Structure 1
Amino acid sequence: MKISIITVCYNSAATLEKTILSVSTQTYKSIEYIIVDGNSKDNTLALIKKHEDKISKWISEPDKGLYDAMNKGIGMASGDLIGILNSDDTFNSDMVVEHIASFHLQNTIDASIGNIVQHQENGKIIRLYSSKYWNPEKLTIGFMPPHPSIFFKRKLFNKYGNYDLGFKIGADYELITRFFLKNRISWKYSGITTTAMLVGGLSSSGSSSYKLITQEIQKALTMSGIVFDPFKIRIRFLWKIIGFLKK
């Protein structure tokens, strides 16, 4: 089983090397590693060339943003499974991909979902983001599994389409809604903590981002013809607090 790992980046010189090395030290050897760079202006391209022996395919050219770059990577991929590793993240251990491959070989599924840990720049872990109690119906109240923990069969993108560029920060939510809720793909919780993720990012900071992702969650559900209560999505932060208190 070949597994394609896609990293998209732009001006990521400060973090990309750790990401590349995280892939290169995986114990699983049938990995196709793809980097899609958005024509970076810093030292990113030099780092890619420095580690070219660890990269299966790469391109550096202007794009229309994060999701356009992801779609380019999917188009370049030839693996049985596809996973996304962001350019400021690393795999949580050297055996993550091996564990993912074993899990998919043991289960006839279209996708697996797992966990990630979020950490600060000093390495301090501040959160375990788990999919253990997630199910697709939770998309209707604003909850999706952590995107970097999902490994999809590549054929799903051919069948159901790629990331929708009509979304600014919610194209991952829309794709997960389209795959898991509209088309009811087969899936299973792996229990694998796949990724160590640096806090921050497009959709994780500020009231303006919260408002935008709320709008895009509703847009995603509407596009897939899913019935939902807009009020429950707007107050989804309360569900997080309640879940935390229950734990």
Structure 2
Amino acid sequence: MKVSIITVVYNGAEFVRNCIESIINQTYPDIEYIIVDGKSTDGTVDIVQSYGKKVSRFISEPDKGLYDAMNKGIRLATGDVIGLLNADDFYRHNRVIENMVATFQRTGADAVYGDMLYVDRDDTKKLKRYWRSGWYSENAFLWGWMPGHLSFFAKRSLYEQYGLFRLDMKSAADYELMLRFIHKNKVKLAYMDEVTIVMRAGGISNSSVGNRLRANREDRLAWQLNGLKPYFFTFWLKPLRKLKQYVSKPPARPDV
């Protein structure tokens, strides 16, 4: 099983090397690594190019934002399975891809997901949040559930059949895509009961009332665009479910 991993980056020189190393040091042998750069000006391009053929495909050109860049990478991908890892983030250990492929093979799933850690941007030993996705049950999206997007590995055939990220969405484009794949089209899911991704805290925040209201509107739009009807409380359960992530503690890193 060939795996395509896509990293999108724009002016990410500070952390992109850490991201690249976490991918090229994976134990799984059949990885196609694609980096899509938005025409960086801070030295990112030089860092990426220093890895030579360890990066399978590299493009550097202007784009229309994060999800446009992700779509470019997906269109370039030739793997059986596609995963996404942003330039600020990294895999927790070097057997993540190996374990993920084993989960696909053992379960016959269409998509596999795991857990994520959010850490301090500068000191990655300082835990900010532990996103334990947990086991999926049918209609879980109605109760505010969703897996962490970067922990989500999907067969390339799902993107070909059900489409890429919608560029008319903003912060909820990842939510809309997983809602479309999982809840609407009932793809077969499997859960990796382990932390796969470590994310540096930052990016679009829903911590303020204004940002949460904007996210709520986008969540509603995601359901409307797919012709789906949520419960009246679905959009408020989604942020409420995240509160536990700030007090839960992850299991110790596996001995690898």
Do Structure 1 and Structure 2 share a fold, with TM-score over 0.5?
yes
Task: Specify whether residues 13 and 188 from structure 1 end up closer, same or farther in structure 2 by C-alpha distance, changes over 3 A only.
Answer: same
- Which residue number in structure 1 is paired with residue 217 of structure 2? 215
Q: 1:151-162 residue pairs with structure 2 within 5 A? A: 151-162=153-164
Q: 1:13-24 residue pairs with structure 2 within 5 A? A: 13-24=13-24
- Which residue number in structure 2 is paired with residue 186 of structure 1? 188
Alpha-carbon contact 2:172-2:215 (below 8 Å) kept: yes
Task: Specify whether residues 191 and 246 from structure 1 end up closer, same or farther in structure 2 by C-alpha distance, changes over 3 A only.
Answer: closer
- Which residue number in structure 1 is paired with residue 166 of structure 2? 164
What's the TM-score once normalised by structure 1's chain length? 0.93
1:205 Cα offset (Å): 4.7
Task: Specify whether residues 159 and 5 from structure 1 end up closer, same or farther in structure 2 by C-alpha distance, changes over 3 A only.
Answer: same
Counterparts of 2:248 and 2:89, CA distance in 1:
29
Partner amino acid, structure 2, of 1:225 = G
Counterparts of 1:41 and 1:135, CA distance in 2:
45
Alpha-carbon contact 2:2-2:80 (below 8 Å) kept: yes
Task: Specify whether residues 230 and 40 from structure 1 end up closer, same or farther in structure 2 by C-alpha distance, changes over 3 A only.
Answer: farther
Partner amino acid, structure 2, of 1:122 = D
User: Secondary structure at 1:228's aligned position in 2?
Assistant: coil
Counterparts of 1:134 and 1:170, CA distance in 2:
20
Give structure 1 regions of 4+ aligned residues with deviation exceeding 6 angstroms: 242-247
Task: Specify whether residues 235 and 109 from structure 1 end up closer, same or farther in structure 2 by C-alpha distance, changes over 3 A only.
Answer: closer
Counterparts of 2:56 and 2:19, CA distance in 1:
14
Aligned residues: 247
1:207 Cα offset (Å): 3.4
- Which residue number in structure 1 is paired with residue 252 of structure 2? none
What's the TM-score once normalised by structure 2's chain length? 0.90
After TM superposition, the structure 1 stretch with the greater mean CA deviation from structure 2, 170-179 or 209-218, is 209-218
- Which residue number in structure 1 is paired with residue 92 of structure 2? 92
User: Secondary structure at 2:33's aligned position in 1?
Assistant: strand
User: Secondary structure at 2:175's aligned position in 1?
Assistant: helix
Q: Once the two structures are superposed, what CA deviation does each residue of 1:50-82 show, in whole Å capped at 9, x if it has no partner?
A: 122320001000111000000000000000100
Q: 1:99-118 residue pairs with structure 2 within 5 A? A: 99-118=99-118
Alpha-carbon contact 1:38-1:61 (below 8 Å) kept: yes
Counterparts of 1:246 and 1:96, CA distance in 2:
22
Task: Specify whether residues 143 and 8 from structure 1 end up closer, same or farther in structure 2 by C-alpha distance, changes over 3 A only.
Answer: same
| Aligned-pair identity (%) | 39
Counterparts of 1:22 and 1:243, CA distance in 2:
24
Structure 2: runs of 5 or more not aligned: 250-256
Counterparts of 1:64 and 1:200, CA distance in 2:
20
Counterparts of 2:226 and 2:96, CA distance in 1:
32
Partner amino acid, structure 2, of 1:32 = E
1:117 Cα offset (Å): 1.1
After TM superposition, the structure 1 stretch with the greater mean CA deviation from structure 2, 71-80 or 221-230, is 221-230
Q: Once the two structures are superposed, what CA deviation does each residue of 1:83-108 show, in whole Å capped at 9, x if it has no partner?
A: 00111000010111111111111111
Counterparts of 2:205 and 2:172, CA distance in 1:
8
- Which residue number in structure 1 is paired with residue 140 of structure 2? 138
Partner amino acid, structure 2, of 1:177 = L
CA RMSD of aligned residues (A): 2.1
- Which residue number in structure 2 is paired with residue 51 of structure 1? 51
Partner amino acid, structure 2, of 1:146 = G
- Which residue number in structure 1 is paired with residue 123 of structure 2? 122
Counterparts of 2:103 and 2:37, CA distance in 1:
30
- Which residue number in structure 1 is paired with residue 9 of structure 2? 9
Counterparts of 1:54 and 1:158, CA distance in 2:
26
Partner amino acid, structure 1, of 2:123 = N
1:35 Cα offset (Å): 0.2
1:126 Cα offset (Å): 2.6
- Which residue number in structure 1 is paired with residue 42 of structure 2? 42
After TM superposition, the structure 1 stretch with the greater mean CA deviation from structure 2, 234-243 or 109-118, is 234-243
